[in-house]
Structure 1
Amino acid sequence: MRNKSLDTLEIPLIQGGMGVGISLSKLAGAVMREGGMGVISAAHPGYRKPDFWQNSKACNVEAIIEEVKKAKVLSKGKGLCAVNVMVASRDYETYVKACVEAGADAIISGAGLPLHLPEIVKDADILLAPIVSSGKAASLILRSWKRHSNRIPDFIVIEGALAGGHLGFKKEEVLNESYASLDDILKDVLALLPPYEEEAARKIPVFVAGGIYTKEDIKHYQSMGAYGVQMGTRFIATTECDADERYKQMFVNAKKEDIAIVKSPAGLPGRAIMTPFMKEHENKRAIPTHCIGCMLPCKIDSTPYCISEALIHAVKGEVEEGLVFAGANAYRIDKIVTVHELIHELFGE
């Protein structure tokens, strides 16, 4: 019997899970304290530990447990704490089990189809949500979870083509503005849900992500039937974000033309602010100095660069040498604010 519920949320907001030290306990706890869902990323939360490059999996497991517990202390009993776990991670099952051990309230899972997520958590009291980028993906997950685990998602996150980081689209689809919009994907996903909701005698709340920037954006998608929104990029430019200040200033200073679609070693296109490192290696390999085998699709002999090294450089403030993922609207950010100020702007009267 699962006791966790979205009823704990005071505002219909998920702070997006941003990997390698962008969203850890400080940011997640601040969002939770405002009544939202704070999210810790399972993508190398242990990068600061001294033996990370020698023992990354153990460091990450330890950090997932530590960060969830710290976020819950910071939240003062409010909101929900989720962990974002990428299907493309080589240690996916290990990190999912660490979320359960940590007492996380929810697991949000994308960068691939989380078809076996319910089987891994079994009967644990934890909410499960897939990230999808199409009605087709949502349909496959709904059918698979129902057939193999007799379970339906506790909520669903739809991520559109304007999101930052890894995208669930081909590069040509992202660049083609006439391709399925977030509005269209939301309609497709909502149309799938009634038979599952009727059988389960409960709703499946849907959150939308990718390009959400203003209060008006939130109201628009709620008027279409979305329960709420997931927002990542705007929370980078907050005082509580766990990244280095130089990383945050990349967003304050970014212009629209600085944001581009990049090639990721994860085998997916990604959206990022172009740094000197990324410009230099658009068509030239950066041979990795480490390899911890973290991403299933990544091959050391052909990867364009080590994504772990690039992301760690950036989050530590060495932005010229790193990778800075960002949503399409990152250029609209012009200052650093507190989480409280941002949420009041988005949800206040």
Structure 2
Amino acid sequence: MKLQPIKIGDLEVKVPIIQGGMGVGISRYNLAGHVALAGGVGIISTAQIGYDEDDYEKNPLEANLRAIGKHIRKAREIANGGVVGVNIMVATQSYEEYVKASVEAGADLIVCGAGLPIELPKLVEGSKTKIAPIVSSIKSAFVICKMWDRKYQKAPDLVVIEGPKAGGHLGFTNEQLETITDEEYDNEIKGIIETVKEYAVKYAKKIPIIVAGGIFNKADVKKCMDLGADGIQVASRFVTTKECDASDAFKQAYINAKKEDIIIVKSPVGMPGRAINNDFIKKSLLGNTKIERCYNCIKGCKKTNIPYCISNALISAVKGNVDNGLVFCGANAYKCEKMETVQEIFDDLSDY
């Protein structure tokens, strides 16, 4: 079977594959643009997106906000009319400014996780930008849909269900990550779908459901579709593409990784995260590294009581200094054994 086209409001998506937002700097204009060109939804991560701007060290917020517009424009030059969106963490400092900058730059879609995006409908009001929350539980889906309905008379344009096998920061406790079974989470996915359906009926609209987390091959795609999904979100597999914005060394870290190298780490921002074990992670467990300055990237992160600066760790990794940086990944990243192209991945996954 083939994945069928979907509509996100008035946006036509030929192949319902959303490329997950990966920061810092893993999914910027080149990857997102080529995913959109292939018929999917290309997503630019706004997390410290301006890390390589000339004034980033002095004015990180200004550099990031300017870079959002630059990367959306450059992605559109590649996308040939395809759908280009952004991923913005609710936990981001100056979150509202990131949303407004994305709307102003003409993002087709804003995907928000790492918190409940309760105010998102207000921030995009009057624009054509579509909005999609990332949820990991029936409870979070219900809270978001209920609040959007009550406060703004609005339902999501799309919902991403991100499971426990996803990469980077995760919406689960360590205990949940250790104990939850595939069968239990399959039931959670079904419950989320039913919750969202209630609001789709109320607003007489189709709300596509996208399942994410650990999706790597045709069997994974089939399972998601059998559960009732309208499409999939894939991230880790797009890292080892020639179009990915990360350095070759970062991509090679995925190719070199073994299953046992992928571990859960404690992030300075207070969430568990999934990453490739390396010298940096081992050193961080021994005690605090020297933190020269704070980039004010995440709410609740305090310079005085964190083991390392997550911005510096992620920037080091994306630039290629992987042994001294944090390499976030999904649970199945070890299955990346070769370099591919974006189109090759679409050809493989779209016909499951």
Q: TM-score range by the shorter chain?
A: over 0.9
1:4 and 1:228, CA in 2 relative to 1: closer, same or farther beyond 3 A?
closer
What's 2:228 paired with? 225
What CA distance in whole angstroms lies between the structure 2 residues aligned with 1:194 and 1:49?
Answer: 43
Equivalent of residue 200 in structure 1, options 195, 200, 203: 203
Question: Is 1:216 matched up with 2:219?
Answer: yes
2:143 is paired with a residue whose SS is helix
1:8 is paired with a residue whose SS is strand
Equivalent of residue 255 in structure 1, options 248, 255, 258: 258
What CA distance in whole angstroms lies between the structure 2 residues aligned with 1:33 and 1:11?
Answer: 10
Question: Is 1:304 matched up with 2:285?
Answer: no
What's 1:244 paired with? 247
What's 1:100 paired with? 103
TM-score normalised by length of structure 1: 0.96
Equivalent of residue 128 in structure 2, options 104, 114, 125: 125
Contact 1:173 1:179 in 2 (8 A): no
Gaps (5+ residues) in structure 1?
Answer: none
Deviations 1:208-263 (A, max 9, x none): 10011112211221122101000100000100000000000000000011110001
Q: CA deviation at 1:293?
A: 1.4
Q: CA deviation at 1:336?
A: 0.7
Instruction: After TM superposition, list the pairs within 5 Å mapping 1:273-284 onto structure 2.
Output: 273-284=276-287
Contact 2:18 2:40 in 1 (8 A): yes
Gaps (5+ residues) in structure 2?
Answer: 1-6
Q: CA deviation at 1:6?
A: 6.1
Identity %: 47
What CA distance in whole angstroms lies between the structure 2 residues aligned with 1:321 and 1:275?
Answer: 8
Question: Is 1:43 matched up with 2:38?
Answer: no
Contact 1:4 1:126 in 2 (8 A): no
Question: Is 1:70 matched up with 2:66?
Answer: no
Q: CA deviation at 1:287?
A: 2.6
What CA distance in whole angstroms lies between the structure 2 residues aligned with 1:327 and 1:238?
Answer: 15
Contact 1:4 1:125 in 2 (8 A): no
Deviations 1:328-347 (A, max 9, x none): 00111100111111111111
Contact 2:236 2:330 in 1 (8 A): yes
TM-score normalised by length of structure 2: 0.95
Residue type at the aligned position of 1:294: C
Contact 2:141 2:196 in 1 (8 A): no
What's 2:112 paired with? 109
What's 2:28 paired with? 24
Q: CA deviation at 1:280?
A: 1.1
Number of equivalent positions: 346
Find runs of 4+ consecutive structure 1 residues off by over 4 angstroms: none
What's 1:291 paired with? 294
What CA distance in whole angstroms lies between the structure 2 residues aligned with 1:165 and 1:305?
Answer: 16
Question: Is 1:344 matched up with 2:351?
Answer: no
What CA distance in whole angstroms lies between the structure 2 residues aligned with 1:121 and 1:194?
Answer: 23
What CA distance in whole angstroms lies between the structure 2 residues aligned with 1:181 and 1:328?
Answer: 17
What CA distance in whole angstroms lies between the structure 1 residues aligned with 2:258 and 2:182?
Answer: 24
Residue type at the aligned position of 2:22: M
Residue type at the aligned position of 2:90: V
What's 2:192 paired with? 189
What CA distance in whole angstroms lies between the structure 1 residues aligned with 2:92 and 2:107?
Answer: 19
What CA distance in whole angstroms lies between the structure 1 residues aligned with 2:184 and 2:291?
Answer: 36
Contact 1:161 1:181 in 2 (8 A): no
1:346 and 1:178, CA in 2 relative to 1: closer, same or farther beyond 3 A?
closer
